[in-house]
Copies of this chain bind each other. A is one copy, B any other.
Amino acid sequence: MEKLVKLYNKKEKLIIGLMSGTSLDGIDAALVRVKNSGLDTEIELIGFETFPYTSEERNEINKACSVSESNVELICQLNFYLGKKFGEAAISIAKKCNIKLDRIDLVGSHGQTIYHIPQNSTLQIGEPSVIKEMTGITTVADFRVMDVAAGGHGAPLVPYTEYLLYRNSEKTIALQNIGGIGNVTILPKMCNVSDVIAFDTGPGNMMIDTCIEIMTDGEKNYDENGIIASKGKLNSELLDELMSIPIIKAKPPKTTGREQFGKDFTVKMINKYREKGVTFEDIVNTFTRFTVKSIAYNYNLYLKDLVIDEVVVSGGGSYNPIIMQMLKEELYYTKVFTQEEKGYRSDAKEAIAFAILANESISGNLNNLPLVTGAKKAVILGKIIP
């Protein structure tokens, strides 16, 4: 407890943020210097790395996510196994930055979501007690459950940190992330905490990645540089079918995930259109267009009262030139940048966010956005492993 109080009183901390997203690429680890908390938060990224999952690990996680393939033994063991992987990622990023573990104040770990039923329940694994035990560092983890317990969707959580870091007095900014899922945070000009808008726009790269994996028999797992999409053409019937999925047109706040756009659904769609003679290239092109179109659709319908000055794109999708080109076409009325073009690292964003959220939890700050997650009230997220 003395240690927690010391931590609470410390104005400048070294914090490791750990994140693994629905895309199952691997564990993102960011080592961040965080000064102050709340609106006074200042950060400096010291180091970042993604520790990729092996294909075997990815298979195990996919199994754990699947209603038909998962079981309690797998989940019990994988929780501890991933805890060890998260712990190793924390140790490695510290080493890479030449900072001894005992100088690091805090770990904030998101864990790996294996199931998520908005406003009902959510399940992240990657046991934080293992991280604490391996590193000796006080760990805050399991952020989503408290928001769901308070009636929220448990997502998105990153917008609160974007609000702390990126709010601007002169511009209205849309921060569009394209990871496994697509999600946007709108920071209106001179916004305060209750003005922030954020929601999931639809799939990010998830459906594209699955199609590439099937097409290449597991040799590749994403459309590098959008090359496959660029070889295909749009299939309007498929696009119309996808755009008619209710969540795409649902009013924000809304969240979606693997349960909607995961392997089960994607394979069904691929099989259906392959049987109609549609090429893999056309399917990838159409999935890519779907990702972009679902973003644009939501901007046009639900953000039309705002003048968006800038769209800043982050996540794996920002490295896909076809996605960026399509986005510029669809959002012709505003400026579209990648996060890199704005001078920020795109890949580190979520890991940094969980370092900041851990700092907020330890500081006793309410760190969900009820208007964004749908929670009945603001709460302190996370569990502290002392």
Q: Return the chain B residue nearest A362 by Cβ.
A: B1
How near does chain B come to A320, taking the closest CB pair, in angstroms? 30
A residues at B contact (CB < 8 Å): 1-5, 8, 64-68, 70-73, 75-77, 79-81, 83, 114-117, 120-123, 127-130, 132-134, 142, 145-146, 148-150, 361-364, 379-380, 382-386
Report yes or no: A80 in contact with B149, Cβ–Cβ below 8 A: yes
- Closest Cβ of chain B to A144, distance in Å, is 9
A363 to B3, CA, bound (A): 12
Across-interface contacts of A68 in B (CB, < 8 A) = 71
Looking at the assembled complex, report how far the CB atom of A224 sits from the nearest CB atom of chain B, in whole angstroms: 31
Q: In the complex the two chains form, what is the Cα distance from A122 to B75 in whole Å?
A: 10
A275 to nearest B CB, angstroms? Answer: 29
A123's contact among B79, B150, B364, by CB below 8 Å, is which?
A: B79
Contact, CB under 8 Å: A71 / B73? no
Q: Once the chains bind, are B122 and A149 in contact (CB under 8 Å)?
A: no
Q: A120 CA to B75 CA in the complex, in Å?
A: 12
Tell me whether A364 and B386 are in contact (CB under 8 A). Answer: yes
CA distance A67 to B73 in the complex (A): 6
CB neighbours (8 Å) of A150 from chain B are 133
Alpha-carbon distance A246/B134, docked complex (angstroms):
32
Contact A385/B70 with A5-B1, A75-B123, A121-B77 known, Cβ cut-off 8 Å: no
Contact B129 A383 (CB under 8 A): yes
Q: Give Cα A380–Cα B382 distance, bound, in whole angstroms.
A: 18
CB atoms of B115 and A130 under 8 A apart: no
Q: Which of B123, B149, B361 contacts A386 (CB 8 A)?
A: B361
**Residues in B whose Cβ lies below 8 Å from that of A123:** 72, 75-76, 79
A148 nearest CB neighbor, chain B only: B80
- Of chain B, the residue at the smallest CB distance from A84 is B149
State which of B2, B67, B72 has its C-beta within 8 Å of the C-beta of A364: B2
Please determine whether B127 and A149 come into contact, CB atoms closer than 8 angstroms: yes
Chain B residues, CB < 8 A from A364: 1-3, 386
Would you list 16 pairs from A and B whose C-beta atoms are within 8 A, ordered by A residue? Answer: A67-B71, A70-B70, A72-B75, A72-B114, A72-B115, A76-B115, A76-B121, A129-B145, A129-B149, A129-B383, A130-B145, A132-B146, A133-B146, A142-B383, A383-B383, A383-B385
Contact residues in B for A133 (Cβ distance below 8 Å): 146, 149-150, 379
Given A72-B114, A76-B122, A361-B386, 15 more contacts at CB 8 Å?
Answer: A1-B5, A1-B363, A4-B4, A66-B72, A70-B70, A72-B75, A73-B117, A75-B75, A77-B121, A121-B127, A128-B383, A129-B146, A132-B149, A383-B385, A384-B386
Chain B contacts for A384, CB-based, 8 A: 383-386
A386 vs chain B, min Cβ distance (A): 5
Tell me, in angstroms, the Cα distance from A121 to B130 when the chains sit together. Answer: 10
Cα–Cα, bound, A1→B65 (Å): 35
Q: Which single residue of chain B is at the shortest CB-CB distance from A386? A: B380
Query: Across the two chains, which residue of chain B brings its CB closest to A384?
Result: B384
Distance between Cα atoms of A351 and B72 in the complex (Å): 25
Bound together, the chains give a CA A123 to CA B77 distance in angstroms of 9
Q: Bound complex: CA of A170 vs CA of B300, how far in Å?
A: 80
Q: A2-B364, A133-B149, A386-B361 are in contact. Are A120 and B66 (CB under 8 A)?
A: no
Measured between beta carbons, the chain B residues less than 8 angstroms from A121 are 76-77, 79-81, 127
Interface-centre pick from A1, A64, A128, A362 (highest chain B CB count, 10 A) = A1
Q: Distance (Å) between the CB of A297 and the closest chain B CB?
A: 29
From residue A132, how far is it (CB to closest CB) to chain B in Å? 7
Task: Determine which of B73, B120, B130, B380 lies in contact with A77 in the assembled complex, contact meaning CB atoms within 8 Å.
Answer: B120
